[in-house]
Chains A and B, each alone.
Chain A
Amino acid sequence: MERAPRTNTDGRGLLITWSFQFRRFKWRVLAFVVGLLMMVQAGVFLAVDRANVEAARRQINESLEVTANQFQRNLAERNLQLLQAARLLSSDYAFKQAYATRDHGTIVSALENHATRAGAQVMLLLDLDQWVLADTLHSETSGRRFGIPALIDSAEADPHGEATDVGILDDKTYQLVVVPLFTPAPSAWIVIGFRITDTFANSLKKSTRSEVSLVRLERETQWHVFASTLSATHREALVSMLLPEMVFGQSHELVLDDERFVSLATPILPERHRDLAAVLQRPLEKVLAPYQRLRVILLVIALAGLAISLGGGLAVANSVTRPVEKLADGARRIGEGDYAYRVVVDQRDEFGELAGAFNNMVQGLEERDRVRDLLGKVVSHEVADELLRRKIELGGEEREVTVLFSDVRDFTRLCETHSPSEILNYLNTYLTKVSGQIEKHGGIVDKYIGDAVMALFGAPLQHADDPARAVAAAVAMCKTMRLHNIELKQSGLPPMRIGVGINTARVVAGNVGSASRLNYTVVGDGVNVASRLEGLTKTYGVDIIVSESTRALATGFLFRELDRVCVKGKSQPVALFEPLGPAGAIDSETLARVERFEQAIRHFRARAWPQAEEVLLGLLAEAPEEQLYALYLEQTRRFQQEPPPAAWVGSAYPGS
């Protein structure tokens, strides 16, 4: 379990809340397994414990009831012993003879003799009016009333004149029996008694293993123990707890001196239940002792189970989290681009399978990455992406694309004077620079054809201003080449002049080729036008020629119209334009010159040869290096000699 501060950085500021949560799956599994086990074991433990205590109580109750029965039986047995002893004396002829003598000493000694035979502790002889004739406790005296008249009263009510009771003689408690002395008519009462002592209680305890206390109610309020197996302190505690009204036949739990006793009261004599009782007790702890042992065993089992489940849970959790951690680590590494990384999981379960699948996936990614790299070298990155993203298939779509062609002028002548490696190096430098500008402006290099570059703006990626981008790229390319020429000059190499043709047209874009070898490109008439425009740059002595469609779309640039020519396959003549630069960045001198040239073209197309010649001469005087002016002047002079046919479109192209 982790007790972690959780930072919460929503708009209300930094809040730190403490909460218990399992941040790791391992701990969750462990908590679940251990928690479940603990719950089950706690349930079992409580149920067993409760059943045990209940069983212990039931056992105690049963044994107390047995003890009560045993107690009653013991009493009855003793009673019978007394009764038989008394009856024997009552019918003893010798005693009758002795009684007939009325000799006190003889009678007392006869009683003592008989008491000894019977094992009784007291014997008395009373006359029918309850006067003591002889008493073994007071052998010397006679002539007083018997102290327990209730005993004789109940005997008088009995058909055989017999009665039994528990009574006190000289502060000692006796179990007493009375029978009449028949001589042969009833003439006296023979009383015989066993003293009830702790010995009696102990003998009962010996056979029943219960604590036995015999109590009597004194002055109708306070119970007094007259025989017991309990210690003195326990006796005191017991009588302090007994209520004057004794409840029989129902067990109670009494605590004597911090010791718990299950207690059951039973009457000693049914007719004396108000003031005489036997309290039978069993210590709860002693009976619970085996259950306590069971409790300890249960606890040990529970702890062992807990430890095992903890270990097992940890092992299971680890077997899950370890490969997951490895996979997470692997995923992180792969995210960082380390495709060579492989996850190692030595498990044959689902995680092993997952790791295998993961590794396969990484291998796939690695291969795809390699393909992408390779593809990027062959085709542009954009095309490569497009190819990888889409399903590679033959066919394509019709879309508006601005096609740019660039070529090095007089490259063939260069090849003749330099070694192949020099040429390749020379060419690669140029292509790299040119390609850089194309890509920088959002175009893609479609292909290199020898020293020529074919680039696309608007396929496969489309921008709103693809024509302007193409024009800007062309302008930048020329500028780059001018700078490059300075470097070439310094290294003693011939300068390089490029021509660029740009045309915007609807073409078909897509993968062209066979199923095994494909090439993403565009095909259509518009592509040929761009190529033709590039070829015309040399004729007009300009770097860049764009078509009418491109000029119309490439807003933000200022153009100079060059000419209009009939292109092969086109019914309408195509207007040629040269970009001068961004609108607003052109100086007024240039602008004025462009205007004058346009005027010259208007004269030229209107067959006003002298006027055209005049303007062109003026322009040539200012810019003699402009091949364009020279071309127009040459054609003007030629058409003055031999005027063009009626179908002439106004082109200055030689041979048209």
Chain B
Amino acid sequence: MNRTKRIGRLLVLVAMLLASPIYAASLQITVTNAEGQQVENAVVYATPRDPATKARMQQSTNTMIDQVDKEFIDHVTPVMVGTAVSFPNNDKIRHHVYSFSPAKTFEILLYKDKLPNPVVFDKPGVVVLGCNIHDWMSAYVFVADTPFFAVTRKSGAVVLKGLPAGAYDVEVWHPGLRVGSEKTRQTLTVTADEQRAVTFQIDPRHIWSVRRAPTPMGGGY
């Protein structure tokens, strides 16, 4: 994990801490599959039902998606609407980042050392990132319309903190759930200082991957 990223994380955390009220609820969310195994790269987010709360919480931050060894880091990155994401290139070769997703269509033509201008994700939705040079490089930016979100890692459990008391739509999204497919949603109301555990069971599909080059593709005769 490089330095830039660690600093970025720290900034996000500080911003969230500053924004949270003194008394707030927290949700510990576990995402499992049908077999009970914890699911990685699932985005969980809680959207307040009260638009006022949502408006009060509105804030935009900056983050980044790194490119290391011809892979996007991280594979799934949840951001709040209006977040500017920068795409530094830590490889010695050029990349061509693009997205055809309706939530954010863009492309950053071939670049290497010069950090391009950050891309602002101003619409909620899923944005699939690719690299025109390397077919297998792909990443997801989940643009949430709420500041309360997290992405599961290997442990599969995340904590959403600082939720003001009120009603929330708690939802989970995963790349294996198709874009635009029905979301798994739970509506719940939390009180101040409440700590609640929420469990989602989802059935993500296998995502067919593109072979990474150089590949042992058949037919080399």
A residues contacting B by CB (< 8 A) are 77, 80, 84, 90-91, 93, 96-97, 99-100, 128, 156, 158-162, 180, 182-187
A561 CB, min distance to chain B CBs, angstroms: 149
B129 in the interface (beta carbon within 8 A): yes
B23 in the interface (beta carbon within 8 A): no
Q: Are A185 and B128 in contact (CB under 8 A)?
A: yes
B122-163 to A contact mask, C-beta < 8 Å, 1/0: 000000111110010110100000000000000000000000
Could you jot down 13 A-B contacts, CB within 8 Å?
A: A80-B219, A84-B219, A93-B98, A96-B130, A99-B100, A158-B208, A159-B206, A160-B208, A160-B209, A162-B208, A184-B135, A185-B140, A185-B179
A100 CB, min distance to chain B CBs, angstroms: 4
Q: Which residue of A lies closest to B131 (CB)?
A: A184
Are A184 and B137 also in contact (CB < 8 A) when A80-B218, A96-B100, A100-B100 are? yes
The contact of B207 among A80, A91, A99, A186, by CB within 8 Å, is A186
Q: Which residue of A lies closest to B139 (CB)?
A: A184
In the bound complex, what is the Cα–Cα distance between A205 and B57 (angstroms)?
Answer: 75
Minimum-distance CB pairs A-B, first 7: A184-B130, A161-B208, A100-B100, A184-B138, A80-B219, A91-B135, A185-B128
The contact of A97 among B100, B179, B205, by CB within 8 Å, is B100
In the bound complex, what is the Cα–Cα distance between A78 and B125 (angstroms)?
Answer: 41
The contact of A183 among B100, B137, B175, by CB within 8 Å, is B100
From A84, A96, A185, residue with most partner B Cβ within 10 Å: A185
In the bound complex, what is the Cα–Cα distance between A379 and B205 (angstroms)?
Answer: 145
| Residues of chain B contacted by A187 (CB below 8 angstroms) | 179
| Residues of chain A contacted by B20 (CB below 8 angstroms) | none
Question: How many A-B pairs fall under 8 Å by CB?
Answer: 52
In the bound complex, what is the Cα–Cα distance between A99 and B100 (angstroms)?
Answer: 9
| Residues of chain B contacted by A99 (CB below 8 angstroms) | 100
In the bound complex, what is the Cα–Cα distance between A156 and B176 (angstroms)?
Answer: 12
In the bound complex, what is the Cα–Cα distance between A84 and B220 (angstroms)?
Answer: 12
| Residues of chain A contacted by B208 (CB below 8 angstroms) | 158-162, 180, 186
| Residues of chain B contacted by A160 (CB below 8 angstroms) | 208-211
Q: Are A183 and B130 in contact (CB under 8 A)?
A: yes
B194 CB, min distance to chain A CBs, angstroms: 36
Q: Which residue of B lies closest to A180 (CB)?
A: B208
Q: Which residue of A lies closest to B178 (CB)?
A: A128
B172-192 to A contact mask, C-beta < 8 Å, 1/0: 000100110000000000000
In the bound complex, what is the Cα–Cα distance between A77 and B218 (angstroms)?
Answer: 10
| Residues of chain A contacted by B178 (CB below 8 angstroms) | 128
| Residues of chain B contacted by A80 (CB below 8 angstroms) | 218-219
B105 in the interface (beta carbon within 8 A): yes
Q: Which residue of B lies closest to A81 (CB)?
A: B219
| Residues of chain B contacted by A162 (CB below 8 angstroms) | 208
Q: Are B105 and A100 in contact (CB under 8 A)?
A: yes
B195-221 to A contact mask, C-beta < 8 Å, 1/0: 000000000011111110000001100
Q: Are B206 and A184 in contact (CB under 8 A)?
A: no
In the bound complex, what is the Cα–Cα distance between A161 and B210 (angstroms)?
Answer: 9
In the bound complex, what is the Cα–Cα distance between A161 and B209 (angstroms)?
Answer: 8
B74-106 to A contact mask, C-beta < 8 Å, 1/0: 000000000000000000000000101000010
| Residues of chain B contacted by A96 (CB below 8 angstroms) | 100, 130
In the bound complex, what is the Cα–Cα distance between A183 and B100 (angstroms)?
Answer: 7
Are A182 and B132 also in contact (CB < 8 A) when A80-B218, A97-B100 are? no
A180 CB, min distance to chain B CBs, angstroms: 5
From B131, B205, B210, B218, residue with most partner A Cβ within 10 Å: B210
Q: Which residue of A lies closest to B205 (CB)?
A: A156
Q: Which residue of A lies closest to B175 (CB)?
A: A185
Q: Are A184 and B129 in contact (CB under 8 A)?
A: yes
A128-B178, A160-B209, A162-B208 known, 7 other contacts, Cβ within 8 Å: A90-B210, A96-B100, A158-B208, A182-B135, A183-B128, A184-B130, A184-B138
In the bound complex, what is the Cα–Cα distance between A128 and B177 (angstroms)?
Answer: 12
| Residues of chain B contacted by A97 (CB below 8 angstroms) | 100
| Residues of chain A contacted by B137 (CB below 8 angstroms) | 184
Q: Are A159 and B209 in contact (CB under 8 A)?
A: yes
B178 CB, min distance to chain A CBs, angstroms: 7
A126 CB, min distance to chain B CBs, angstroms: 14
Q: Are A182 and B100 in contact (CB under 8 A)?
A: no
Q: Which residue of A lies closest to B209 (CB)?
A: A160
| Residues of chain A contacted by B131 (CB below 8 angstroms) | 184
Q: Are A184 and B128 in contact (CB under 8 A)?
A: yes
| Residues of chain A contacted by B175 (CB below 8 angstroms) | 185
| Residues of chain B contacted by A84 (CB below 8 angstroms) | 219
B151 CB, min distance to chain A CBs, angstroms: 16
Q: Are A185 and B138 in contact (CB under 8 A)?
A: yes
| Residues of chain B contacted by A184 (CB below 8 angstroms) | 128-131, 135, 137-138, 210
In the bound complex, what is the Cα–Cα distance between A294 and B210 (angstroms)?
Answer: 61
In the bound complex, what is the Cα–Cα distance between A77 and B207 (angstroms)?
Answer: 27
In the bound complex, what is the Cα–Cα distance between A180 and B98 (angstroms)?
Answer: 18
A102 CB, min distance to chain B CBs, angstroms: 10
B217 CB, min distance to chain A CBs, angstroms: 8
| Residues of chain A contacted by B209 (CB below 8 angstroms) | 159-160
Q: Which residue of A lies closest to B96 (CB)?
A: A93
B169 CB, min distance to chain A CBs, angstroms: 25
B184 CB, min distance to chain A CBs, angstroms: 19
B153 CB, min distance to chain A CBs, angstroms: 20
| Residues of chain A contacted by B219 (CB below 8 angstroms) | 77, 80, 84
Q: Which residue of B lies closest to A187 (CB)?
A: B179
Q: Which residue of B lies closest to A179 (CB)?
A: B208
From B131, B140, B219, residue with most partner A Cβ within 10 Å: B219
Q: Are B130 and A182 in contact (CB under 8 A)?
A: yes
Q: Are B138 and A182 in contact (CB under 8 A)?
A: yes
In the bound complex, what is the Cα–Cα distance between A160 and B208 (angstroms)?
Answer: 5
In the bound complex, what is the Cα–Cα distance between A369 and B144 (angstroms)?
Answer: 153
| Residues of chain A contacted by B205 (CB below 8 angstroms) | 156
In the bound complex, what is the Cα–Cα distance between A162 and B217 (angstroms)?
Answer: 13
| Residues of chain A contacted by B105 (CB below 8 angstroms) | 100
The contact of A185 among B98, B132, B207, B211, by CB within 8 Å, is B207
| Residues of chain B contacted by A90 (CB below 8 angstroms) | 210
| Residues of chain B contacted by A161 (CB below 8 angstroms) | 208
B205 CB, min distance to chain A CBs, angstroms: 8
| Residues of chain A contacted by B210 (CB below 8 angstroms) | 90-91, 160, 182, 184
In the bound complex, what is the Cα–Cα distance between A158 and B207 (angstroms)?
Answer: 10
In the bound complex, what is the Cα–Cα distance between A652 and B142 (angstroms)?
Answer: 194
| Residues of chain A contacted by B135 (CB below 8 angstroms) | 91, 182, 184
| Residues of chain B contacted by A182 (CB below 8 angstroms) | 130, 135, 138, 210
B52-77 to A contact mask, C-beta < 8 Å, 1/0: 00000000000000000000000000
In the bound complex, what is the Cα–Cα distance between A99 and B105 (angstroms)?
Answer: 13
A317 CB, min distance to chain B CBs, angstroms: 72
In the bound complex, what is the Cα–Cα distance between A162 and B218 (angstroms)?
Answer: 13
Q: Which residue of A lies closest to B219 (CB)?
A: A80
